[in-house]
Amino acid sequence: MLAFTPFLVPICLVFGLLCLRGIYYRLTNPVAHLPGPEVSKWTDLVYLYYWFSGKVPYYVHNLHERYGPVVRTSTSQVDICDVDAAREIHKTNTRFMKSQFYEFLVAKGFQSMFNTADPKFHSVRRRLLATPISDSSLSKMEPLVSSRVHLAVDKISEEMESRGAADVFKWWLFMASDIIGELSFGESFRMLESGEKNQYTKDLEAISGLQPIRTTFPNMVAIARYLPLPIFRQAGATANRMVTYAMQSIDRYAKYLEENPENPRQTLFTKALDEKSGMSRQDIRQEAQGYIVAGSDTTAVTLTYLVYSVCQDPRIQQCLTAELATLTEPISDKILRDLPYLNNLINETLRLHTAVPFGLPRAVPIGGATLKDTFIPGGTVVSTQSYSLHRDPSIFPDPNRFYPERWENPTKDMKDASLPFGGGSRICIGIHLARMELRLATALFFRRFPKAFVSSNEGMCDDDMIMKAFFLSAPKGHRCLIQV
């Protein structure tokens, strides 16, 4: 026993310090009085377990079912499932700024439209970048988007013939990546043409799952090259490669602009690359990284769950295909905007299978705020996760049922509680492009494959489609096999 004494002393010391830290947290915790599990008054370990396992939306939702609309999820975080609170937090000119959480999702020391907590910075940057991707401007880009959607459906058809079933998740990811690549940088990543997952697509699939590492251990990711732990090295290497992809794309387009100064091909970053924009090449790189991730993964995930949901319900499939059968070629987005069932279907997919089910963390302003008749101290991180809001039975009766018809006459609360793209002035800049892609891809897919169904080939099953959610969600199996 004496031989182990030198080792027991530091272990006991560390354990004692951890206990003292837990007691300090408990005694000074300003949100300890709020409803929530006892353990979250002392430590964040339980929350971190669900964060690392991709189950935070499920965990928080279960807490709401147990404790009510206002729940303490960790020592300093509160989630509120209430439409009035969501309106207040996400309204234009809100006092609830983005929390420090977002700083860890981009390179240290840089601000972007996505992560900044400064409303003035966000306003200036958004005005510069929003115009090319606005609803009115996108009509000029529709031919490009439509051509990529047509190619994706052709590739799905070819894979069905050769393989017996097609992985629509893979093809939608290739399609969305190619579209955002060409719209942003004037050049497609040509994922559809290659038809094979490469390092780039593997990084896109992995980056969401690595976000818990980045947000929980940001300093370790920064020095990943010196660490022996593979998980930190993987997080650091993936982040570095995403930087490289963005820089290479920006550099190629900048070179193109130099060679074609008179009549250049316009992209989402044409104005940003003008010296008058005031944006450095590093600034543009940060924004480009955000476009690459947000413009590909989210659309692919939503389309995948849409196809999966429709193919599981013959009634819904028949209603959709009957509406689509009334169309004549060529199919345009202008026509699709007027199809009620198609758009109700998309809204229902965004409700039940939103690509960002996680709460959007905001910092309560100094002085605190009262939300849902509950005072929340200043500095607390508060969120209104869409996963729970979209399943509030008082707003969405029979909330777990996939029922497009509920959107025929939506109430104001339904509209306000729907946050698949965020809300207020921080709403996703790509919302109009995403909806265009969703409309075109859904229409072209089900016109080509009106009797498609979920395949059981290669062991495909419902377990593959269980949602894993970090900041963005994805099917657990990273695939969705469909056949005809």
**Which H/E stretch holds residue 370?**
strand 369-371
Amino acid at 426: R
Using CB atoms within 10 A of its CB, is residue 312 exposed (0-12), middle (13-18) or buried (19+)?
middle
pLDDT tens-place string over residues 286-341: 888 777 777 788 899 999 999 999 999 999 999 999 999 999 989 999 999 999 99
Q: Residue 231: its pLDDT value, please? A: 57
What average pLDDT score do residues 383-403 get?
97
Q: Residue 211: its pLDDT value, please? A: 60
Tokens 């189950």 locate to 55
What average pLDDT score do residues 263-292 get?
80
Q: What is the DSSP letter of 134?
A: S
d(CA 219, CA 15): 23
d(CA 131, CA 137): 7
d(CA 418, CA 416): 5
pLDDT at 109 over 70: no
Higher-confidence residue: 318 or 356? Answer: 318
pLDDT at 34 over 90: yes
Q: Residue 4: its pLDDT value, please? A: 47
What is the 3-state secondary structure of 200-243? HHHHHHHHHHCHHHHHHCHHHHHCHHHCCCHHHHHHHHHHHHHH
pLDDT band (50, 70, 90) for residue 479: very high
pLDDT tens-place string over residues 416-443: 999 999 888 888 888 999 999 999 999 9
pLDDT at 20 over 80: no
Q: How many CB atoms lie within 10 A of CB 63?
A: 21
* 252 three-state secondary structure: helix
- Looking at every residue in the chain, the average pLDDT score rounds to 86
Between 41-50, 94-103, 194-203, 301-310, the lowest mean confidence (pLDDT) is in 194-203
Q: Virtual CA dihedral for 293, 299, 301, 302, nearest 10 degrees?
A: 150
d(CA 331, CA 113): 34
Q: Which residues pair with 483 in a beta bridge?
A: 453
CATH code for 125-483?
A: 1.10.630.10
Q: Residue 185: its pLDDT value, please? A: 80
* Domain extent listing, the chain: 125-483
Q: Residue 346: its pLDDT value, please? A: 98
Q: Tell me the helices (H) and strands (E) count for the chain, helix number first.
A: 21, 12
What average pLDDT score do residues 66-93 get?
94
Q: Virtual CA dihedral for 272, 276, 280, 281, nearest 10 degrees?
A: 50
d(CA 291, CA 181): 9
- Check if the beta carbon of residue 112 is closer than 8 Å to that of residue 121: no
pLDDT at 202 over 50: yes
In the chain, what percentage of residues exceed pLDDT 90? 52
pLDDT at 394 over 70: yes
pLDDT at 261 over 80: no
Using CB atoms within 10 A of its CB, is residue 471 exposed (0-12), middle (13-18) or buried (19+)?
buried
- Check if the beta carbon of residue 91 is closer than 8 Å to that of residue 56: no
Q: Residue 448: its pLDDT value, please? A: 97
What average pLDDT score do residues 230-248 get?
70
Structure-token pair, residue 103: 């700083």
Tokens 């550099």 locate to 251
pLDDT band (50, 70, 90) for residue 352: very high
Structure-token pair, residue 102: 């977002």
- Check if the beta carbon of residue 284 is closer than 8 Å to that of residue 275: no
Using CB atoms within 10 A of its CB, is residue 440 exposed (0-12), middle (13-18) or buried (19+)?
buried
pLDDT tens-place string over residues 38-49: 999 988 999 999
- Check if the beta carbon of residue 333 is closer than 8 Å to that of residue 142: yes
Q: Residue 228: its pLDDT value, please? A: 56
What are the φ and ψ backbone dihedral angles of 473, each rounded to 5 degrees?
A: -100, 165
Gap between the terminal Cα atoms of the chain: 69
Q: Residue 219: its pLDDT value, please? A: 54
What average pLDDT score do residues 379-395 get?
96
What average pLDDT score do residues 64-78 get?
95
pLDDT at 16 over 80: no
Q: What is the DSSP string of 9-27?
A: HHHHHHHHHHHHHHHHHHH
Q: Residue 216: its pLDDT value, please? A: 56
Between 99-108, 190-199, 339-348, 386-395, the lowest mean confidence (pLDDT) is in 99-108
